[in-house]
Structure 1
């Protein structure tokens, strides 16, 4: 049995390019330095003693900068190339993380958070394009899964350490993030100096891709893709609120400490690190990709329902919410990323990646502001019920979108 398990892991990780592995190493290090963002709301409310509404405003402005950065990053990637965009965005992000930890004036923080999020988000389309460029078409989903694996190992480690640093001094979060981001940029500069892309032609097709748009076409003229992005935006609202407002709820209403919150958030990355790669390998070609998108959003609904249960054992309920949401994330996000690249060609991957990033960034604008407003005026339980309904709506949206087009249902 043990040999069988080991063989399953070996097969899951085999056949990927050297550049894919090196890029994933860089992403792992980069995400170790993403510890400040999940604690941003708590920094505003606990350290600066501002209201939950102010925390929601900061996260909303983070989303504004992300929209602009995602769009700019995608277009610059197609024009300039994914390597220089990644390097420049990481180095500048590191500088702004350090500055954010030094400024206490709220107006100044509002200005800085837009600049910070601009460069943080500009990195993502370039990185997504790099993953596709370094991957053979048949390994695309696994390449994205490896990238997510690296991200989540880094995130799991980063949030766990972040909880400890937050308990000591919130400012430490921003200093460490700044140093790690700059270090990640330097690693891309030296580890991937002249990386060659894997030869590909036209669109990267998966078995489910149909009626792909013309090479070079704007993603905003691809009607199916635009509808897809609308559903992604709703799903990402749920995703973002789990990592932005749920920790505040755990602290204020369930009285869970910062260190424990860091461990709970870190569980997400640890579970993904242990199981996602082998899960994707074993699910390959069993069902349409869209089936797993639907299933993933349903698990999201179950996760938020755990927050409505009376808090007899707060830590257990919080852990259950994280586990259920993580299962949903493992089922949905790798196939979502693959679909984005399957709609693009080598000429417009940056634009498609940017459109995908923009949908997530819009969710960062809408989600925290709306979530903070609902929590402040009607209470957290109303917010969690709303997210349960929204998650089920996403599942229905995916099913309807792909019905008859990708063999779902």
Structure 2
């Protein structure tokens, strides 16, 4: 019992109360996150749209998300985290209902576009707020706990949605809208504004007007974002092409829901232990391994034709996802200057939105013209290339993180700092782990 209590304290103890309100909002929101998981099945089986039309609608969701995350990142820094989150959630709930009631293809496409914009506008503000309220030494476990909440909700939602869809797909849209509204109320009423008051612009620090130029000149961060874009192109095939592939194998929507729920179940069981597993290890090595494992998992989908085999592939790429997420989250936090956190979060989220628009279209084209095997083999190849890229680019990212940390501590502009190149051991030490640890 004492060991269990000690593990619990290390995992969840000492985190700020505002973090737990954010965590609760995440869990509630994800418990109702039905629509995107089943959108491809809804469009093709319930509405009778073709696979290419379904890919277009899901792609427009991603296009809207790209716009929304860009605007949301700017608003989070200028307007504030809390009003941005509340407005985005309110708009997302409204458009969720509108999408569920839409009938013509043009109305469905427009609804998906606007829903993507509102839903994704909340992400940069939420990410910036999480960084604002959690001290640097606790961020790895905080992001892991938040990620755990995301997947606990996702696992429950995937199973429940598969059966709820049998009672009517409109119910999925209604429940999703309701949980989005509840999340907005929790965050707005229980978490105060976390954005720091504007301070005079220091020499060498980007003013708001030059924020975009600052980000575009940050080649190290943009390289990291580019790698995440390729990871997202592979990962998002589980929403677009995987349900279609399982349908071609004669499997029902409920079976897909149960299989994809394994992703959330494994993360719920294992994610609380991942921070301790990767603590003190080189982040570039962890991210490289994550890319390789993810590629293998999706690659094996080419050989799947029964539910248990599809489930096995999901379990494999989920391990890669579990290794990737905490390291990604802490890197974003450490590579983002404090005064530009919202915009940096927005640029990172933009990689997901671009992938959200491109993944279903590219996946559909490859599957239609080159075949199912070629699609999943391409995912495996991308995973291998990304593993090498993370090993090559990792040391530069860690040097950049050290420079920003020193600049923040000394209030000296980062542009004047030329940190020494650390050894391999030093680079590993700059990772997300801290000596004492309590999604």
TM superposition score normalised by structure 1: 0.91
Counterpart-to-counterpart distance in 1, 2:206 and 2:269: 37
1:340 paired with 2:332, answer: yes
1:175 paired with 2:174, answer: yes
Q: Which string of whole-angstrom CA distances, capped at 9 and with x for unpartnered residues, describes residues 276-316 of structure 1?
A: 1221133211x1112111111111111112212253xx111
Alpha-carbon deviation of 1:15?
Answer: 2.1
2:142 aligned residue:
143
Which of these residues, 223, 235, 243, is aligned with residue 247 of structure 1?
Answer: 243
Whether contact under 8 Å (1:215, 1:344) holds in the other structure is no
Whether contact under 8 Å (1:8, 1:278) holds in the other structure is no
Aligned residues: 391
1:391 paired with 2:390, answer: no
The structure number with the bigger radius of gyration is 2
Structure 1: state its 5+ residue gaps: 202-212
What SS does the corresponding residue of 2:35 show, helix, strand or coil? coil
| Residues 225 and 196 (structure 1), Cα distance of their counterparts in 2 relative to 1, 3 Å cut | closer
CA RMSD of aligned residues (A): 2.1
Whether contact under 8 Å (2:161, 2:172) holds in the other structure is yes
Whether contact under 8 Å (1:100, 1:113) holds in the other structure is yes
Q: Which moved more, 1:394-403 or 1:296-305?
A: 394-403
1:227 paired with 2:223, answer: yes
2:283 aligned residue:
289
Counterpart-to-counterpart distance in 2, 1:310 and 1:95: 38
Whether contact under 8 Å (2:18, 2:190) holds in the other structure is no
2:418 aligned residue:
none
Counterpart-to-counterpart distance in 2, 1:332 and 1:6: 27
Counterpart-to-counterpart distance in 1, 2:336 and 2:396: 21
Q: How does 1:185-264 map to 2 (within 5 A)?
A: 185-192=184-191, 194=192, 218-252=214-248, 254-264=249-259
Alpha-carbon deviation of 1:47?
Answer: 0.6
Counterpart-to-counterpart distance in 1, 2:196 and 2:24: 19
Structure 2: state its 5+ residue gaps: 399-423, 429-439
Whether contact under 8 Å (2:62, 2:356) holds in the other structure is yes
1:305 paired with 2:304, answer: no
Counterpart-to-counterpart distance in 1, 2:357 and 2:390: 22
1:402 aligned residue:
394
Which of these residues, 337, 362, 365, is aligned with residue 370 of structure 1?
Answer: 362
Whether contact under 8 Å (2:288, 2:386) holds in the other structure is yes
Whether contact under 8 Å (2:301, 2:310) holds in the other structure is yes
Counterpart-to-counterpart distance in 2, 1:85 and 1:399: 36
Alpha-carbon deviation of 1:8?
Answer: 2.5
Counterpart-to-counterpart distance in 2, 1:195 and 1:404: 34
2:119 aligned residue:
120
Q: Which string of whole-angstrom CA distances, capped at 9 and with x for unpartnered residues, describes residues 318-339 of structure 1?
A: 1111111111011011111111
Q: How does 1:33-44 map to 2 (within 5 A)?
A: 33-44=32-43
